[in-house]
Structure 1
């Protein structure tokens, strides 16, 4: 593989000046913080790679390192044995350089201002404040702008037809002046951004926003795509998911795998909560070839949460223009509602998020086995437990911690109501058959990281 043995760059836009203490923390004297920044920087430099196995990426570039060199005019970043694909004629691509700068900014701010004062007993309001402060520090929260942010969720491992469809939807959204938030990776995350960029260009919109929100556990398997112009690294998956629903004004879900289902259950748990009278517009969308996919997903959600759950979403097959028109109307309605209630346009403060969705879920074998999957539970609590179950499966598939846990202790054990487990098993078998579990499996057999009891 090609590597750039040595180069030096400066942070862009942010962090031209760092204190000696900040630089010291990111040096090898704080090995944990240095490792975090090093891993995120490697993931960013690995942009556009078809490799989504975090362990394999770290193995291939085990000799990669990034060092902070203090200078009178700020700092330099020294890169050693970096992936060559992020360089042109020996010079780093500017967008990649900016993403590395964003990673440095977010990691430093979270360590200095958030983690140092965060309590494990933090209240729901305090956890929401943490999300707000990180987003504000990143410059993503912009007051006095009419609501126009559409969240797009979906798989990074999708066929070309699904990618082209997501791009077409993004194009129609861009023509209608809507901006995009995704998980920042490839596939259904890159497609809407690329399409919206063309739509914005046709409308001569020069300040289009393509916001990518990620977290350290997933960034290696979903490196930021080249369209992202505002990258934010949240400290964990729960804060990442909360950032989506607090920033976004409507949500589109394209076909995906386990991670997409995790996101769906997270949102449905919020929408089902009795304290939320006004939710977020939600549309499931895909090409004609995905009609059966959404039939299966709809049936699965009804099996888990009852037929009434279908009231919270609309399914649109094909018709990218209809999807975009539906989103445009939904965003306009959100605008009107927030104007009437005097809520902020830039951050959905009124949305109630239960603490069980905010405190980080660690996918250990003990925690996975202890999940309560009981059909008699309140629906919002069951959706939250299902979210945790799928979060653990995502970890076992692509996150370094989960991969190591499964390698050391065997598959996760998931217990619960037999009908729920049967529905989960059926869905996951379909995902395996359609190769929606991991990218680039080819003919290699997928080895499940989970076992369902009974």
Structure 2
């Protein structure tokens, strides 16, 4: 019985690996096909309330980006995700508001400001979809989930598993994290100082837009069917 169980586990593990390879191939194909709209993923906390300055700042950023015909992609939940989706809906009737929802026991259904909803049971598939459909990433204040999204994007760019794209960290909370990374991983040669070249920092919505504008312009200059 034990030998048979080992064979079954080995067989299933092999099939899972084969399925992962198929998904990776499909993922690359969809990425290569691309989209007609520039898309920005905005990551941030689900816990921040509507009356906070962070919420207003993210709402303003998404509204400005949408006015440039930029799709906004979030996790589809409350807090800063809702701020981004609401701003996108207010900013344009052309740009779309995406929500990549994850099933969590403590988080309700998606917010009410979405044009497109995708549901995921696993964080891994959700993270891969963020990478697949986005041309830039903006990191706003958040906790463990936001840090996961930051480091996942950063690491995939480091090893050339995704195409280069802007990674913009908005707000004041990131300085301490960057100081720690330089003090320990960099100092102990566990990462390179040049890895920080992939990150850009901004303190305001206007500054984020200014950083992303060249990438947006370059994208639409290649499009034949749409000009912002």
List per-residue Cα deviations over 1:169-193 (Å, max 9, x = no partner): 1121122121100000111111112
Superposed, 1:108-127 pairs within 5 Å as: 119-122=15-18, 125-127=21-23
1:239 aligns with 2:139: no
State the Cα distance separating 1:194 from its structure 2 match.
1.2
Q: Distance in 1 between matches of 2:25 and 2:34?
A: 20
Paired residues of 1:150 and 1:327 also in contact (CA < 8 A): no
TM-score normalised to the size of structure 2? Answer: 0.76
Paired residues of 1:147 and 1:249 also in contact (CA < 8 A): no
State the Cα distance separating 1:306 from its structure 2 match.
4.1
Paired residues of 1:253 and 1:285 also in contact (CA < 8 A): yes
Partner secondary structure for residue 121 of structure 1: helix
State the Cα distance separating 1:252 from its structure 2 match.
0.5
Which residue number corresponds to residue 322 of structure 1?
A: 207
State the Cα distance separating 1:236 from its structure 2 match.
1.4
Residues 124/331 of structure 1: CA separation in 2 closer, same or farther (3 Å cut): farther
**Backbone CA RMSD of aligned residues:** 2.9
1:163 to 33, 55, 65: 55
Q: Distance in 1 between matches of 2:22 and 2:65?
A: 34
Q: Distance in 2 between matches of 1:219 and 1:131?
A: 28
Q: Distance in 2 between matches of 1:251 and 1:335?
A: 18
List per-residue Cα deviations over 1:115-152 (Å, max 9, x = no partner): xxx9322265412256589xx8xxxx9x7853311111
Which residue number corresponds to residue 209 of structure 1?
A: 96
1:128 to 8, 14, 24: 24
1:312 aligns with 2:198: yes
Aligned length: 201
Which residue number corresponds to residue 43 of structure 2?
A: 153
Larger radius of gyration: 1
Which residue number corresponds to residue 69 of structure 2?
A: 177
Q: Distance in 2 between matches of 1:162 and 1:296?
A: 18
Paired residues of 1:151 and 1:180 also in contact (CA < 8 A): yes
**Unaligned stretches of 5+ in structure 2?**
1-13, 186-190, 223-228
Paired residues of 1:176 and 1:328 also in contact (CA < 8 A): no
Superposed, 1:374-385 pairs within 5 Å as: none
1:248 aligns with 2:128: no
Q: Distance in 1 between matches of 2:129 and 2:82?
A: 19
Which residue number corresponds to residue 270 of structure 1?
A: 156
Which residue number corresponds to residue 88 of structure 1?
A: none
Q: Distance in 1 between matches of 2:110 and 2:194?
A: 36
Paired residues of 1:174 and 1:196 also in contact (CA < 8 A): yes
Q: Distance in 1 between matches of 2:15 and 2:149?
A: 25
List per-residue Cα deviations over 1:172-223 (Å, max 9, x = no partner): 11221211000001111111121122221xxxxx34311101232x374253
State the Cα distance separating 1:231 from its structure 2 match.
0.8
